């Protein structure tokens, strides 16, 4: 066999060219253009800042964030934490932030579930199921989101009053006051039991990772369900029993002209969540469908040849591979559902945009109010992007 010899001179790094202070040297040109662009941008920013400060001084408009410590006097219909109009503007904005996070988190979870189901249904062999899913996707994506929010809010407002409330299932009432649901008589013991459940889930996850690593080394399977049952079942129950937490439900009941007891989902929150979930699920469905179709057909055929039924093939073979295609565009939809929640101001749901707008109208701190809104959405969007990029890198194929 002939062996190819490599000239040692070709393995050396090319000699570095000396830097010449001449316009003919592309490195000098690159540095000059970069300095010029940075200078122009800096000049524009300085001019805008100085012009803004001058106009504020001329009109004697106060600047700064000192207004955050003043009493708000702002009523908020619903809040995750305790709030009263005598609290500060900072707490009012915190309530708005938590309301935004509430609708964003719940919307992301529900739209992901609904979109995945519809995306799989579009690939169903049942003609009726596939066509109905396709019609849903085409119709829901062609209608503006704001129009859908107004539609659902109008529908909820036209429902009968509490005395004639609809009762789809026992203990659940739907009226123009919102959705009433039964709820636990929540106490500190329930919070500790929930914390124990989360801790058990973390312990189960770490044990599963160690069990899989050991199985790779010795080939011996290890049962995970006993650890999961003990950590996620027995531990929370023991905490709940030891602290004596009551297991009594607070059922809503009609008293006078309204309901008492249970938990209330306001018409504004319900309409916003319903519109966001249904709208975003149409886009997620197409992402899921495209991800499944991106998996080679040979994967289906090989799995079926092993005797797996279609459900097992989809869950264990196809979807894990489709995730590598689904995750990047899914990140955009999660960002969209978070930013689209700002349309809540159109139907009266008091999120960060609504409360910040009221705050800047009362205080005159327009620049600060808009800056707070921008900072909130920028922080949430970057957090979602960082998490999804981390997860995407984790499930990506690793070349060896």
Q: What is the pLDDT of residues 150-177, one digit of tens each?
A: 999 999 888 888 888 888 878 788 888 8
Q: Confidence class of residue 1 from pLDDT cuts 50, 70 and 90?
A: very low
Q: What is the mean pLDDT of residues 92-114?
A: 94
Taking all residues of the chain, what is their mean pLDDT, rounded to a whole number? 85
Counted domains in the chain: 2
**62 in a structural domain:** no
Of the residues 247, 278, 299, the one at which a domain ends: 247
Domain co-membership, 236 together with 296: no
What's the whole-model pTM score? 0.79
Burial 83-111 (b: 16+ CB within 10 A, else e): beeebebbbbbbbbbebbbbbbeebbebb
Asked if residue 4 belongs to a domain, the reply is no
Parallel, antiparallel or unpaired: strands 258-260 and 253-255: antiparallel
Domain holding 342: CATH number? Answer: 1.10.3720.10
**Helix (H) or strand (E) segment spanning residue 69:** none
d(CA 396, CA 325): 10
Mean pLDDT of 72-100: 89
191 and 309 housed in the same domain: no
Stretch 383-400: mean pLDDT: 81
One domain for residues 234 and 272: no
Residue 94 lies in a domain: yes
- Look at residue 367 in the predicted model and tell me its pLDDT: 84
As a whole number, mean pLDDT of residues 325-329 equals 90
Cα distance between residue 119 and residue 278, in whole Å? 13
Q: Is residue 56 part of a domain?
A: no
Question: Residues 310, 374: one domain?
Answer: yes
Judge if 290 and 327 occupy the same domain.
yes
Residue 190 lies in a domain: yes
**Residue closest to 98 by CA, chosen among 84, 112, 78, 73:** 78
Tokens matching residue 279: 């709208």
More confident residue, 73 or 137: 137
Residue 3: band (very low, low, confident or very high) from pLDDT cuts 50, 70, 90: low
Give domain status of residue 155, yes or no. yes
* Same domain (yes/no): 146, 190: no
Find the DSSP H helices in the chain: 26-58, 89-121, 127-142, 145-157, 188-218, 225-229, 235-243, 267-294, 297-305, 310-312, 319-340, 352-363, 366-395
pLDDT surpassing 90 at residue 275: yes
- Residues 226 and 318 both lie in one domain: no
Query: Do 287 and 387 reside in the same domain of the chain?
Result: yes
| Residue 296 to residue 376: CA distance in whole angstroms | 41
Percent of the chain with pLDDT over 90: 36
What is the rounded CA–CA span in Å between residue 345 and residue 37?
39
Give the CA radius of gyration of the chain.
Answer: 29
Query: 295 pLDDT exceeds 60?
Result: yes
Tokens of 259: 């309901």
Residues 276 and 387 in one domain: yes
Q: Judge if 166 and 195 occupy the same domain.
A: no
Which domain covers residue 203, as residue numbers?
186-247
223 and 316 in a common domain: no
Q: What is the mean pLDDT of residues 320-328?
A: 88
Rounded distance, CA 7 to CA 231, Å? Answer: 65
Per-residue model confidence as pLDDT tens digits over 8-60:
555 565 566 666 667 777 777 788 889 999 999 999 999 988 888 788 777 77
> Are 144 and 290 in the same domain?
yes
pLDDT band at 400 (very low <50, low <70, confident <90, very high): low
Indicate whether 320 belongs to any domain: yes
Rounded distance between C-alpha atoms, residue 143 and residue 139, angstroms: 7
Residue-level pLDDT at 399: 54
- What the block records as the tokens of 332 is 């955009």
Check: CB of residue 73 under 8 Å from CB of residue 85: yes
Q: Evaluate whether residue 8 is within a structural domain.
A: no
Q: Name every residue whose Cβ is closer than 8 Å to that of residue 160 and which is 6 or more positions away in sequence.
A: 166, 175, 176
């Amino acid at each position: 066999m002939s062996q190819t010899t490599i000239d040692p001179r070709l393995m050396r790094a090319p000699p570095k060219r000396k830097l010449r202070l001449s316009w003919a040297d592309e490195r000098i040109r690159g540095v000059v253009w970069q300095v010029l662009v940075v200078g122009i941008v800096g000049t524009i920013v300085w001019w805008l800042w100085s012009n803004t400060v001058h106009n504020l001084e001329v009109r004697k408009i106060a600047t700064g964030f000192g207004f955050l410590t003043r009493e708000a006097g702002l009523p908020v219909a619903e809040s995750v934490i305790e709030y009263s109009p005598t609290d500060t503007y900072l707490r009012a904005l915190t309530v708005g932030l938590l309301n935004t996070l509430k609708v964003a988190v719940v919307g992301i979870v529900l739209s992901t579930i609904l979109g995945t189901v519809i995306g799989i249904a579009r690939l169903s062999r049942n003609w009726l199921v596939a066509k109905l899913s396709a019609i849903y996707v085409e119709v829901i994506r062609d209608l503006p989101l704001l129009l859908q929010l107004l539609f659902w809010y109008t529908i909820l407002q036209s429902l009968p009053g509490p005395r004639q409330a609809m009762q789809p299932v026992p203990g659940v009432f739907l009226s123009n006051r919102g959705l009433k649901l039964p709820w636990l008589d929540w106490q500190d013991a329930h919070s500790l039991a929930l914390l124990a459940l989360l801790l058990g889930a973390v312990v189960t996850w770490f044990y599963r990772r160690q069990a899989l690593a050991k199985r790779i080394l010795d080939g011996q399977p290890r049962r995970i369900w006993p650890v999961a049952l003990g950590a996620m079942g027995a531990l929370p129950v023991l905490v709940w029993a030891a602290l004596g937490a009551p297991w009594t439900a607070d059922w809503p009941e009609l008293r006078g002209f309204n309901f008492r007891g249970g938990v209330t989902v306001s018409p504004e929150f319900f309409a916003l969540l319903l519109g966001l979930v249904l709208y975003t699920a149409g886009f997620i469905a197409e992402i899921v469908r495209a991800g499944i179709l991106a998996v080679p057909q040979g994967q289906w055929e090989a799995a079926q040849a092993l005797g797996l039924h279609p459900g097992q093939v989809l869950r264990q073979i196809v979807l894990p591979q489709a995730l590598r295609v689904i995750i990047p565009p899914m990140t955009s939809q999660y960002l969209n559902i978070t930013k689209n929640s700002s349309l809540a101001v159109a139907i009266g749901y008091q999120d960060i945009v609504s409360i910040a707008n009221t705050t800047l109208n009362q205080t005159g701190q327009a620049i600060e109010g808009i800056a707070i809104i921008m900072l909130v959405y920028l922080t949430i969007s970057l957090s979602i992007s960082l998490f999804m990029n981390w997860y995407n890198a984790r499930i990506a194929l690793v070349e060896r």
